[in-house]
Structure 1
Amino acid sequence: MFRENNDHLQQSLFESVNFMDSRIKTKLEKSWAPIFYKYVFCNIDEKHFSVLYSDTGRANLPVNILLSLEYIKHLKNYSDDELIENFNFNYLINYAVGIRTLGGMNLSEKNLYDFRTRIYQYLIKHPEQEDLIFGQFLNLTMIFTKEAGICMKKQRIDSTMFMSNIKKAGRVALAFDVLYRAVKSIPEDKLSENLKKVFNPEFRTEVIHKTKPSEGESKLEILLNLCQETKETIENISELKNSDAYRILERFLSEQAYYDEETKKLKAKDSKSIPSDSLQSAYDEDATYRKKGNKAESGYVLNLSETCAKENPFQLITDYTVEKNIKGDVELLKERLPIVKQNTKCQEVYVDGGYYSKEVVQIAKENCVELHFTGLNGRKPVRISVTGYEIDEETEVIKRCPGGIIPIHAGVKKWQTVAHFPREACANCELKNQCYCKEQKKDYVVRVNLKSIEAAKQREKIECKCEGHKSKRAAIEGTNSALKRGHGLSKLRVRGLVKCRVNAGLKVLAQNFEGFARYMLERVKKAIAESQGGSVPVLIQ
C-alpha cells in the first residue's frame, strides 16, 4: 500500500546529531549530505510512484528513501552490498535520506530489488505512460538550475555507446550460450545423448577455447545443428514453447543459419549477411551491434543534451534518452530536439556533423532552435560549391550558374534539381572543369542532389564560425567520460533496454548532483571565508 513519507519533518530528541561534538556537527553541515537532503530528497514527488503499489496491504518502504539511495548508489558507484553497508553505518548517507538516528531503519537487498522490479515492470507494461525516473530527473534538474542560476538558452548534444551486463562474444560463443540456456530448460528425461553432452565442461572447452580460426565455421555449424535438435525437442513439450529460452533460440537460428538441401543440415550464414539488430547475447535480447568510427560495440546508445553557456558556473545535463545503438544520431535528434525545446526553452544547439540531415534542420526551424554543426561527414567537394549556383529557396530550381549563365529550362526531379544550359555557353566557360555540368548531344545538364544544397550551406556556416562552435560542443565529451569513469556507465550491471534506461537516468541525475553539490560547497566556502576575513575551512566531500 502506498504511503507518503513525512517522518523526516518531525524532529526527535534522540537524533544522533544532538549528541555530536560541535566541531563534528559543523563538519556535517559543510558536507554534501545536507545539500542532497534539501535539494534532492525533499523534492522527490512520491505521488508519481503511487501507481506501483496497491490500495491495500502493508505500507511501502518510503519511496523518497529508496529512490534517494538509488541516486547515491550511482553517485558513489556503489554495489548493492556497499550501499547497504553504508546505509547501516554511514551517518552522511542517513542524513541525506532524512534519517537522523543511525541504525533507525533496516534495509535489505529485497527492499532494493522489489522497488526496482516495480519500476521496471511498470515501464514495460505502460510504455505510453510517463517515465517515472525521467520525470524526477527533470524536476530535480530544474531545481538545481533555479538555485544555481543556470542559463539553458545554449545547449550541446552528443551520444555515446555503452554495454549492458553482457560479454563480448563471437558467433561460436554466442551459439553455445543460446544452446546451453535452451538445453537447460528441458527436463533431463527428455534430453538426447547429443544434448546431454552440452553440460560437460569439456564440450564447452572444445568448441570455444580450442577452436582454431580455420575451424570456426565447422564448430559453429555443429552448434547450430545442436540448436536445431534442441528446438525440435522443445516443440514437443507444450509448456516450454512460450519460454524465453525457446524464443531466443528460434530468433538466433533464423538470423544465423539456413537449411542446406544437399546435406540436409543447417549451415552458417555469411557474417556480412547478419543484420546489425541480430541477437548479441543469450541474456539480453535488446542489445544491438554498431560500428561507429573505429569503435564497434554491442549494447545501447545514450544521447545527452547539456547546457553550454559561458556564464554558467557549471553545466547541467538537461535531457537524456537510451536506445538500441543501431539508432542513428539523426533519428535521436529528430525525436529529442522538440522535447528539449519544450522542457528547457533552449534557443541554440551545438552538435557534430553526425546529426546533420535536412529533416533535422527543418525540425529545428519549426521549433525556433538555431543549430550549429561543428563538422559534416564526408569530404569537402573539390568542385565549385553548389552554393555558387543561384537557387530559388522555395522551389529549389536553379536560376543561374556560377558563370552567370541562365538555364534553357530547369526543374526538380527525383530529389534532384536539374538545369539544362546552352551547349555553346558551357563549352567556352572557364569554370567548365570545376562545374557539375555534363555534356549531352544537344546541351549541358547540371544535376544536384537537394540534400547536397543544404549540406553545402551548413558547411559554409561551419567554416565561418568553426573554432567557437567546436569549443562549445567538445566539452560534452568530458561529460560522457565522467559518466563512464566515475559512475560506471561504460558497462552497466543490468540487461535489457528498460533496465538500462532506468540505470542511465539515475547516473545522469547523479552526475548533475555532483556538479551542483560542488558548486554549493564552493559557495558556502567562499561565504565563510569572506565572513572570517579570508580563512578557508575544510569541506567534507
Structure 2
Amino acid sequence: MFKETESSRPVELFGDVENLLEWNKKKLKKYRDETRWHNQFRCMVYDVIDETPYRILFDARMGAPNAPVKQLVSMMIIKELFRWSDSQLFEQFEFNVLVRRAIGIDTLTEDIPVPSTYYLFRKRIYEHGKETGEELLEETFSQITEAQVREFKVDGRRIRMDSKLLGSNIGWYSRYELVHKSFEMFYRGLTKSDKRFLQTRYRTEISRLLGEEAEKVVYRHNRDEVNERLVRLGELLYMVIRHYKGKKEESFRVLKRVFENQYEVNEEEKIILRPKEKIPPDSVQSPHDPDCTYRGKSGKKVKGYHANVTETCGEDLHLITDIRIEAASCGEARFYKEAVEGSERVTGQRVEHVHADGAYYSESNSRYSEERDLDFVVTGIKGSEPRYLIHETHEGYVAVDRESGSVYELHKAETYQDSEEARYYIRTDSGRKYFSSLAIYTALQRQKLISRPERELQIRNNVEATIGHFAYGLLNNKTPYRRKQKQQMWAYCRAMAVNIKRIAGYVRPKKPFEEQKAALCAQKVQNTVPSTPCFFIFSSIGRHLANFYGFFQSNPSIYPKTPVFIQL
C-alpha cells in the first residue's frame, strides 16, 4: 500500500545525532555544514523527489505501507555516487551518520529499508517500464535537475554532447555458442507435454546436441566439424520454430531472431549459414541480453549499449541535462534531436548553441538546426576532403579544384526518373563532373566549419571529461547490468550522482590561492622546527634508544617508521 513520506518527524532525546555531537563542536559544525555533500544531497535531491509517480507501483488499499520512496530512490543514487556494491551500500547506511542524514535520517535508532525491500522496489520500476514504456526514474531525473537549474541559475542555452559505448554484463560467445545457448534456453523451458509434440527421434537428437556444453564443442572439434553441427542445429531450429509458431515467450522470440540472423533459407528450403559479413550489426549477441548489439569504434569492439550524455556549458556550473541509452549499433547522429529537446524540457530554456564532434553531423540534423535557428557547432564532418570546394555566389554555385585551382560554374542537370533530388554538373577537360544536392549542401557546411574560430570548436572538449566521470569505476568498461531498461535506470542514477557531486564542489567555499599558500607555509614551519632542544630518533636506531625510555619499552608497537621528535 502506498504511503507518502512524512515531512517532519519528532526529535528523539537520546538517539538524535546532533545531541550526541554536542560534546564536540568541531564535528557538530561539519555535520551541520550546508556546503558538505550530505546536506547538499538532502536539500537538492532527497527533499525534491516527488513520490507521486511511484504510487502506481503499489496497491492503493491492500498490503503493508511501503518504505519511504524518497529513501529508496536516494539509496540508488548514492550507490552510484560512491560506486558502492550492494553490501557496502547497506553497511554505510547502517553506521555512517552522513549518508543517513543525506536520506533524511537524523537518528541512530531509525531503521533503513531492508535489502529485500530495496530489490523489490528496483524490480517493480524495471517491470513497470518494460510493460508500459514509462521511465519513472526519468521523471525523477528531470524534476531534480530542473530544480537544480533554477536554484543555481544554470545557463542552458549552450549545450554540448558526447557518447560512449558500454559493454553489457555478458560473455563473448562464438557463433556456435550463441546458437547452442539460445536453443538450449528455449528447449529447457518447454514442459514435458510441449516436448511430446516432437517426434522421438528429434527429441533424442536435440538432447544429444544440447547435452554437450557449447564451450567444449568449440574446444574439442575443428572448424569443419563445428560448422557441420551448426548447420544441423539450424535445421532443427527451423523445424522447432515452425512447430511452436504460436509461442509468445521471450525465449522463443530470441530463438527466432537468432535463426534469422545466422541462417538463410534458399528456394529449396535448405538451411545454409549466412556469411559473416551479411550478419546485421543489430543481431542478437547473447540470449541473456537480447537488447544489446555489436559495434566497432576506434579499434574497440563492444557488445552492449551506446550512452549519450548532454550537459550545459555556460559560465559557471555545468549540469547533465539529458542522458540516453540505446543499443550499440545506434549511431551518434540519431541522438541529436531528442537530446536537444530533452535538455530544453529540463532547463526550461531554448537551446541556441550545440557543440558536438563530427559523428553527430548529418544532413537531417543540420537542416533541423537551421529550421530552429540553432547554431550547430561540430569539430568536423565525416568523410574525406572532396577534390572540389563548393562556394555559393549571387549567380549560383561555383566549384574550385583544390589541385589545379581552376574555377568551374555549376549547371543544373536533369534529375533521374525515379528521383526528385536536384543534380548539378561542371564542364572539365575530361568531361562532365556531376554533384548531388546533398554533396553541395555538405560542401557548404564544410566551408562554414572552416570559417569558425578555434575557440568555438574547443568548447566541446571538456565534455570528454564528463564522459570519463560518468563511466568512472566500470570494470572492463562493462556495467553490472543486462537489458536496456536496467542500463537506462543505472544511467539516470549515475547522471544525478555526477550532478550532485558537481554542486557540492561548486558551493564549497574556496580560499584564494595566496591564503592557501600562506596556511601551507605556516603548517610546514610548525611541523619542522621544535621550540626546545630535542633528540632526533630514526627508525634504524630507535630499538637501541628504546632501552632508555620506559614509555617505548611498554609500547613497542609505536616504533616510528619516519623521523620523529622527542621533546625533553
Instruction: Tell me the TM-score range normalised by the shorter chain.
Output: 0.7 to 0.9
Preserved contact between residue 175 and residue 224 of structure 1 (Cα < 8 Å): no
Which residue is 1:316 aligned to?
319
Which residue is 2:136 aligned to?
132
Distance 1:458 1:12, change over 3 A: farther
Q: Give % identity.
A: 26
Cα distance, 1:75 vs structure 2: 0.9
In structure 2, distance between residues paired with 1:373 and 1:493? 33
Which residue is 1:307 aligned to?
312
Q: Which stretch of the first structure deviates more once superposed, 225-234 or 331-340?
A: 225-234
Distance 1:280 1:535, change over 3 A: same
Which residue is 1:218 aligned to?
225
Which residue is 1:109 aligned to?
115
Q: Which runs of 5+ in 2 are unaligned?
A: 401-405, 522-568
In structure 1, distance between residues paired with 2:421 and 2:266? 45
2:461 matches 1:474: yes
Cα deviations across residues 434-471 of structure 1 (Å, max 9, x unaligned)? xxxx62xxxxx553222222222222222222532332
Cα deviations across residues 304-361 of structure 1 (Å, max 9, x unaligned)? 211223x21x421111111122222222213332333444322100111111122212
Cα distance, 1:231 vs structure 2: 7.0
> Which amino acid in the other structure matches residue 115 of structure 1?
F
In structure 2, distance between residues paired with 1:245 and 1:399? 57
Cα distance, 1:69 vs structure 2: 0.3
Cα deviations across residues 222-276 of structure 1 (Å, max 9, x unaligned)? 14534654775687789x93333232222212221235799x9743211111111
Preserved contact between residue 8 and residue 98 of structure 1 (Cα < 8 Å): no
In structure 1, distance between residues paired with 2:410 and 2:192? 80
In structure 2, distance between residues paired with 1:49 and 1:381? 54
In structure 1, distance between residues paired with 2:329 and 2:424? 38
2:481 matches 1:494: yes
In structure 2, distance between residues paired with 1:405 and 1:195? 69
Preserved contact between residue 415 and residue 450 of structure 1 (Cα < 8 Å): no
2:175 matches 1:171: yes
Distance 1:455 1:236, change over 3 A: closer
Larger RCO, structure (CA 8 Å, separation 6 or more): 1
Cα deviations across residues 2-32 of structure 1 (Å, max 9, x unaligned)? 2110255543333133112333222323442
Which residue is 2:302 aligned to?
297
> Which amino acid in the other structure matches residue 504 of structure 1?
A
Preserved contact between residue 156 and residue 344 of structure 2 (Cα < 8 Å): no
Cα deviations across residues 174-204 of structure 1 (Å, max 9, x unaligned)? 123213322322457959444444675x644
> Which amino acid in the other structure matches residue 352 of structure 1?
D
Distance 1:230 1:469, change over 3 A: same
SS of residue in 2 equivalent to 1:472: helix
Q: Which stretch of the first structure deviates more once superposed, 337-346 or 272-281?
A: 337-346
Preserved contact between residue 355 and residue 459 of structure 2 (Cα < 8 Å): yes
Distance 1:401 1:302, change over 3 A: closer
1:80 to 86, 90, 94: 86
Preserved contact between residue 28 and residue 92 of structure 1 (Cα < 8 Å): yes
TM-score, normalisation: structure 2: 0.78
1:184 to 184, 188, 198: 188
In structure 2, distance between residues paired with 1:316 and 1:276? 33
> Which amino acid in the other structure matches residue 145 of structure 1?
V
Cα deviations across residues 367-422 of structure 1 (Å, max 9, x unaligned)? 33211111111111233x112x5377xxxxx466667887786676646544577x
Distance 1:236 1:305, change over 3 A: closer
Preserved contact between residue 167 and residue 302 of structure 2 (Cα < 8 Å): yes
2:328 to 325, 330, 337: 325
Which residue is 1:245 aligned to?
251
2:380 matches 1:375: yes
In structure 1, distance between residues paired with 2:411 and 2:28? 86
Cα distance, 1:300 vs structure 2: 1.3
> Which amino acid in the other structure matches residue 135 of structure 1?
E
> Which amino acid in the other structure matches residue 321 of structure 2?
T
Preserved contact between residue 287 and residue 298 of structure 1 (Cα < 8 Å): yes
In structure 1, distance between residues paired with 2:352 and 2:72? 36
Cα deviations across residues 288-312 of structure 1 (Å, max 9, x unaligned)? 1222342322211111211223x21
Which residue is 1:54 aligned to?
59
In structure 1, distance between residues paired with 2:66 and 2:238? 43
2:151 to 134, 147, 152: 147
Preserved contact between residue 145 and residue 346 of structure 2 (Cα < 8 Å): no
Preserved contact between residue 195 and residue 230 of structure 1 (Cα < 8 Å): no
TM-score, normalisation: structure 1: 0.82
In structure 2, distance between residues paired with 1:25 and 1:135? 35
2:376 matches 1:340: no
Larger Rg: 2
Superposed counterparts of 1:63-74, under 5 Å = 63-74=69-80
Cα deviations across residues 271-291 of structure 1 (Å, max 9, x unaligned)? 111111111111111111222
> Which amino acid in the other structure matches residue 38 of structure 1?
C
Q: Which runs of 5+ in 1 are unaligned?
A: 393-397, 427-431, 440-444, 537-541
Preserved contact between residue 165 and residue 328 of structure 2 (Cα < 8 Å): yes
Q: Which stretch of the first structure deviates more once superposed, 366-375 or 186-195?
A: 186-195
Distance 1:281 1:8, change over 3 A: farther
Cα distance, 1:110 vs structure 2: 1.9
2:354 matches 1:349: yes
> Which amino acid in the other structure matches residue 472 of structure 2?
R
Preserved contact between residue 158 and residue 353 of structure 2 (Cα < 8 Å): yes
> Which amino acid in the other structure matches residue 101 of structure 1?
T
Preserved contact between residue 176 and residue 214 of structure 2 (Cα < 8 Å): no
Distance 1:280 1:147, change over 3 A: same
Preserved contact between residue 130 and residue 485 of structure 2 (Cα < 8 Å): yes
What number of residue pairs does the alignment pair up? 496
Which residue is 1:254 aligned to?
260
Distance 1:174 1:526, change over 3 A: same
Which residue is 2:562 aligned to?
none
Superposed counterparts of 1:460-539, under 5 Å = 460-465=447-452, 467-486=454-473, 490-520=477-507, 522-523=508-509, 526=511
Which residue is 1:16 aligned to?
17
> Which amino acid in the other structure matches residue 12 of structure 1?
E
> Which amino acid in the other structure matches residue 280 of structure 1?
Q
Q: Which stretch of the first structure deviates more once superposed, 248-257 or 465-474?
A: 465-474
Q: Which stretch of the first structure deviates more once superposed, 156-165 or 65-74?
A: 156-165
Cα distance, 1:511 vs structure 2: 1.2
